[in-house]
Structure 1
Amino acid sequence: MSDNPIEEEHVVSINWEINKAQLEMMQQKISQPPRLLSESAGRSSCCIFRVPQSFINVHGRSYEPQIVSIGPYHRGKDNVKMIEEHKWRFLGNLLKRTEEKGLNLEDYLKAIQPYEMKARECYSEVIVFDRDEFVEMLVLDGCFIIELFRKIGGVIPIEKDDPLITMSWIYPFFLRDLIRLENQIPFFILQFLFDLTNIQQHEEYQYSSTPSLSKLALTFFNYTLQRPNEVLEKYVNLESKHLLDFLRSSYILALDDENPKHRRNNASTHVIQCISKLRRAGIKLRPSKEETFLAIRFNNNGFIEMPTITIDDFMSSFLINCVAYEQCHVDCSKHMTTYATFLDCLVNTQKDVEYLCDCNIFENYFGTDFEIATFINNLGKDVMFDIDECYLLELFIKVNGYYKSSWHVHWASFKYTYFSSPWSFISALAALVLLVLSILQTLYTILGYVHPPP
């Protein structure tokens, strides 16, 4: 063995034979761009994501379509084949109307082709479809959604025996599937196809005076959301990234200008306690009437005022997918994430849910109080949340300040302990009477000793 370590290293390197096949394979991997999370995923133009596995582990199939596939991620799966056949029927019905005005299927495909690359960049995963297949998917899925909105919105007549409309079990699945993050096509594709097909047809259709795409979309979802018409009218021209972002944006934009602006706080800011602990400090909840459930306030009288929210299958799916979208998109506000974190703070157990239901904050169409508590606690798992940048920062600061105020805590704790129920009040009153009688007896005894009777 050589005393020179450099010579020894040189000998070892000469004796080690490089596997050329392995080297070539490594070079190929280096030159290949990422496919499952493409480079476009880091751009603001990317808005349709494969949901991270950590979220799927918590929420299961909440991100996958149940009966209708929109976009490339779940195309061709067995559970969506039934509606896939009806997409072609919807497209055929649309073509029957537009062909009379000189607009045929070839025109649709040619019109979408220039937007192919822009649409591909909206997906976080590399789309393996070739140009023709990808453009076909955009036209088929886009026209299906538009026709569905037009039928539900009363713009075009519904066929008497159309099973997608007459079978009541299908519509709730459409509502949920169309707002799943992995089940989207870009909104600009929908808008382009809508404008392309929104031409004057037969007099009974009156296409030239139909509502906007945004109005039809709001009407479609409002059968379950039940928002007032005057609220919907504010967003008839709303545009966004896709349908999930569209519906999400309509709630965020409804926050009025008086809502406190978030600001950085020099001191450390903490999330609030659960509602059971807040109640012991004299903080209570009461419902308020607002255009959006995101509008939450805290007044100086110790009340958190928040709008009633109906928790059902649709709203739970909507919140889950909104949080995932905000976590994935690089240029997106975190309003829904903040709201989910706020609910997670308030709710620790099913007793907290019971109190929120009693206060008319929650309308429960989801399940038991325990199931709602589990859902809310899972909603904030594995979520990145910056409290100093959230829209509820001022509320967190005020609630924590009130909670830490000593006289509030002591007085509220006294009331909660002794006056929260009739039996506790009776027990406290009995104890007080007994204490007064004991004091009087002691006084009489002392007076009898100091001033004995003659």
Structure 2
Amino acid sequence: MDMITPAEASAHEEGQSFEIDVERIQLMQIKISTAPQSLVDSNGKRYPFIHRLPPRFPDSETSSYIPHTVSIGPLHRGKDQYRYIEQFKWSYLHALMDRKKLSLEDLIKKIMPLEHRARKSYTEEVDQLDSFEFVEMLILDGCFIIELFRKSRQILSFEHDQITSVSNIYQSILEDLIKLENQIPWIILEELFSITRSSITLEETIVSAFRDTFREYNMKSNLNIMNNYSMSTNRFGGEPFQPFRHLLHMLHTLFTSLWPEIPDIEFKTRYAHLSKMIQPRVIPSISDLQKAGITAKTGDTKFFLKADFKHGTLLMTPLILNNLMICLLFNSMAFEQCQDPTKTQFSTYITLLNCLMTNDNDVKYLIDQKIIQVQNFSGTENDVIKIFRNMGKGLTLEPKTSYLSELFYNINLYHGKKWNVQMAKLSNTYFDSPWSAISLLAASVLLVLTFIQTFYTIIAYNNPPRS
């Protein structure tokens, strides 16, 4: 390769002529004149909203985000490990069309007008699929999801069905359906459901399927979330939900509706000066908290994600730790980090657990207190720490505006008081076992008796009896 000499470079600088590529200039001018694509459409819906995991998350290639058994949408389509389930997608589609007396033309006419809108939903271009292939994928994947949940709820007969009748396959597919990179737009599911409608809504069909799974695994706090969802008004307690973006977004909305973000202005002002003292861990580990007399135990078991702090005790709803819950935690947190910075309930909850657990003793304590209840998990305490460490890598969070900001504030306030630390040291030194307490009591009684004896001796010496 020829090098440009200083003399040649100087000649160019002195105005020596050289050719300009006019076509390149025109292309640059077009790009300059083109307005950026809006992230929000005329209805207020944000685009795009189906993401790959950002590179800052180091475990982007792990099973927590990548589907195991079934590919939904274009991001993992066509890979060898998903071919086994692809045949069942066509089988489910055939059964649905036969039952509802639909043709392929009916389905294509319904979805084709939504193609452009669906393509905009993905953060990366999906040009590898032409128009027909893209619409075919949306129909095949959408109908598979709808039929799967109908079969799982026994709305349809599932006798001899090779997916819903085999527990481990169905469970693996259920986990895949809530993964961040394995989504199709909610509007596609709605449109397909509208022309294959049964007696209940799409939301109720999905909620009921997850309710059955949570009941099977005895995940009571998750089950209560499902039970309190009002199908008729599409709401959980307060305001009606905004339109869902995809299946993962629907579940995220259900689980977080009880826990609003952004505390009041007065609290944010109080918290601001303390925040300098608690970065970057937000709160100390449970071992350090115990040194200040703080204990942890199960509190209100009604709803998942709940935590409270009262009178030196951290109260938490039990966490059933199994593959489904790990998948839900990972992907809901990732969805928050990719999409909406004002919705960070899962990120906050993971941060809380991450702070509490720094060593095996921390994990053992939380397990002994039944705050973490390990289910179908063969790993060690250190493996539990690694799970939450991996979730926390790449996570960004503003603790002052999270739904647990008051809890973080009160724990640090309690932990920072020297009196609480001294009382905890006294308790740990003299009351850590019954024998220590008995010894202290005996010594105290002996000290009191010695004092009384000395007192009366002095009295008798100063006031001898008269003869």
Query: After superposition, what is the alpha-carbon deviation per residue over 1:369-412, rounded to whole angstroms, capped at 9, x for unaligned?
Result: 11111212222121111112111111111111111122122111
Against the structure 1 CA distance between its residues 27 and 169, is the aligned structure 2 distance closer, same or farther, given a 3 Å change threshold? farther
Structure 1's 276 and 224: CA in aligned 2 closer, same or farther, altered over 3 A? farther
Q: Supply the distance in 1 between the matched residues of 2:130 and 2:257 (Cα, whole angstroms).
A: 38
The corresponding residue for 1:117 is 116
Counterparts of 1:230 and 1:383 in 2: how far apart (Å)? 25
Q: Is the 8 Å Cα contact of residues 40 and 121 (structure 1) preserved in structure 2?
A: no
CA distance in 1 between counterparts of 2:268 and 2:157 reads 54
Q: Percent identity?
A: 36
In 2, Cα distance between the equivalents of 1:250 and 1:313?
20
Structure 1 residues 135 and 291, CA gap change in structure 2 (3 angstroms): farther
RMSD between aligned alpha carbons?
3.6
The whole-number CA distance in structure 1 between the counterparts of 2:26 and 2:85 is: 44
CA distance in 2, matches of 1:170, 1:225: 16
Could you say which residue in structure 2 is the equivalent of 1:409? 421
Q: Are 2:207 and 1:218 equivalent residues in the alignment?
A: yes
2:347 corresponds to 1:337: yes
- Name 2:53's counterpart in structure 1: 51
The answer on 1:384 being equivalent to 2:392 is no
Equivalent in the alignment of 1:98: 100
Q: Which residue is 2:219 aligned to?
A: none
Q: Which piece of structure 1 moves more, 306-315 or 285-294?
A: 285-294
Q: By how many angstroms is 1:155 displaced? A: 1.1
1:267 aligns with 2:256: no
Deviation at 1:10, TM superposition (A): 4.9
What's the CA shift string for 1:301-352, capped at 9, x where partnerless?
A: 1111111110111111111111111111146511111111111111111211
Matched AA of 1:234: Y
The change in CA–CA distance for 1:56 and 1:147 in structure 2 (over 3 A counts) is farther
Task: Report the equivalent of 1:204.
Answer: none
Are the aligned partners of 1:41 and 1:124 in contact in 2 as well (CA < 8 Å)?
no
State whether structure 2 residue 138 is matched by structure 1 residue 134: no
Structure 2 equivalent of residue 196 of structure 1? 195
28 and 123 in structure 1: CA distance in 2 versus 1, 3 angstrom threshold: same
SS state of the match for residue 343, structure 1? helix
| Corresponding residue number in structure 1 for 2:152 | 152
| CA distance in 2 between partners of 1:15 and 1:230 (Å) | 74
Measured in 2, the distance between the counterparts of 1:380 and 1:256 equals 21
How many angstroms does 1:251 deviate by?
Answer: 0.9
Provide the rounded CA distance (Å) in 2 between the counterparts of 1:380 and 1:427: 46
- 1:296 to partner: Cα distance: 1.4
1:357-372 equivalences in 2 (<5 Å): 357-365=367-375, 366=377, 367-372=379-384
**Contact 1:214-1:235 at 8 Å conserved across structures:** no
| Correspondence for 1:253 | 257
Q: Does 1:327 align with 2:326?
A: no
In structure 1, the residue matched to 2:247 is: 243
* Contact preservation (8 Å) 2:415, 2:421: yes
Matched AA of 2:433:
S
In the other structure, the counterpart of 1:202 is none
The Cα offsets for residues 153-186 of structure 1, whole Å up to 9 and x where unpaired, read as 111111x322112222201101210010000011
Q: Which moved more, 1:281-290 or 1:52-61?
A: 52-61
Closer/same/farther in 2, CA of residues 9 and 162 from structure 1, 3 Å limit: same
User: 1-side partners of 2:345 and 2:9: how far apart?
Assistant: 62
SS in 2 for 1:382: coil
C-alpha contact (below 8 Å) 1:41/1:125 kept by paired residues = no
Residue 183 of structure 1: aligned partner: 182
Which residue identity does 1:325 align to in structure 2?
F
Q: CA, structure 1 residues 378+413, in 2 after alignment: closer, same or farther (shift >3 Å)?
A: farther
Give the secondary-structure state (helix, strand or coil) at the position aligned to 1:180.
coil
Measured in 1, the distance between the counterparts of 2:31 and 2:260 equals 48
1:25/1:64 CA distance change after superposition, 3 Å: farther
Give the 3-state SS of the residue equivalent to 1:373 in structure 2: helix
SS in 2 for 1:411: helix
User: TM-score under structure 1 normalisation?
Assistant: 0.82
User: Relative to 1, partners in 2 of residues 1:389 and 1:332: Cα closer, same or farther, differing over 3 Å?
Assistant: closer
Q: How many residues are treated as equivalent by the alignment?
A: 420
Q: How far has the Cα of 1:230 moved from its partner? A: 8.0
Verify the 8 A CA contact 1:326 1:334 in the aligned structure 2: yes
Could you tell which deviates more after superposition, 169-178 or 268-277? 268-277
The residue matched to 2:63 in structure 1 has which SS? helix
Query: Are the aligned partners of 2:259 and 2:345 in contact in 1 as well (CA < 8 Å)?
Result: no
Whole-angstrom distance in 2 between the partners of 1:13 and 1:417: 84
Structure 1 residue runs without a partner (length 5+): 199-206
Counterpart-to-counterpart distance in 1, 2:25 and 2:65: 34
Q: Secondary structure at the match of 2:164?
A: helix
Match of residue 72, structure 1, among 52, 71, 74 = 74
Q: Which of 172-181 and 227-236 deviates more?
A: 227-236
1:393-449 Cα deviation digits (max 9, x unpaired): 11111111111122122111211233223465567678x489959x89xx89x99xx
Counterparts of 2:39 and 2:84, CA distance in 1: 31
Residue 144 (structure 1) shift: 0.3
Q: Aligned partners of 1:234, 1:380: CA distance in 2, in Å?
A: 29
1:217, distance to aligned residue in structure 2 (A): 1.0
Contact kept in structure 1, 2:207 and 2:226, CA below 8 Å = no
